[in-house]
Amino acid sequence: MSRIGKAPVTFPNSVTINIGKDNVITVKGPKGELKESIDRDIKVESENGTLTLSRPTDQIRHRSMHGLYRALIANMVKGVTEGYKKELELVGVGYKASNQGNLLDLSLGYSHNIIFEVPKELKVSTATEKGQNPKIFIEGVDKQLLGQVAAKIRSLRKPEPYKGKGVKYSNELIRRKAGKAAGK
């Protein structure tokens, strides 16, 4: 039995959840609104501040969908109440980041700057402090979109294992390798 799927999703009074036709769930909160289409086999019931999901059978497909959609709905509720935030760090000499609105201008050691347009659903900001690596902060209500954009920015120059140069998440640990051993 799916332990995640069995757990009810609790939501505060500031959040309204609407279960529409074709199993489209709309979650509205103080930070925004999110929609998700749910498999027609999964039944969703809402009563006094909790949302419960149930499945018709114990087939593998139904079991996996049960936990998946419960987690997606819980992420939507957390997103519209608290929001999500990711922090990226640029490690390397001469690596810079600046933004104008949702346009991110990155200097990552290539012959040209990279202009990256962040979707309008997300807010981006940059910080450069003396003696610190430049940082990029991305905020939004959609966890999936936020993670996808952060991964795309990271993929522009992944951290390399010898010096650790590149774009990395601020809490990411990079496995370092030893360089060439000096000959005699």
Chunk the chain into consecutive blocks of 10 residues (it has 184) and report each block's average pLDDT, rounded to whole numbers: 81 90 91 92 89 91 91 94 95 93 93 94 94 94 96 95 93 90 71
- Long-range contacts from 13-18, C-beta under 8 angstroms, 24+ separation: 13/49, 14/81, 15/77, 15/80, 15/81, 17/46, 17/51, 17/73, 17/77
5, 47, 39, 45: which is closest to 22 by C-alpha? Answer: 39
| DSSP helix/strand/coil, 122 | coil
Q: What count of Cα atoms within 13 Å lies in the side-chain half-sphere of residue 39? A: 17
As its CATH architecture, domain 3-81 has Alpha-Beta Complex (3.90)
How high is the pLDDT of residue 83? 94
Radius of gyration of the chain (CA): 21
Residues of the chain with CATH 3.90.930.12: 3-81, 84-169
How high is the pLDDT of residue 46? 87
Superfamily designation of domain 84-169: Ribosomal protein L6 (3.90.930.12)
Hey, what are 138's tokens? 């991305």
Residues 119 and 129: their CA atoms lie apart, in Å, by 26
Residue 124 near residue 135, CB atoms below 8 Å: no
How many other C-beta atoms can be found within 10 angstroms of the C-beta atom of residue 165? 19
How high is the pLDDT of residue 1? 47
Residues 85 and 109: their CA atoms lie apart, in Å, by 26
How high is the pLDDT of residue 22? 86
Q: Model's pTM, two decimal places?
A: 0.88
How high is the pLDDT of residue 20? 87
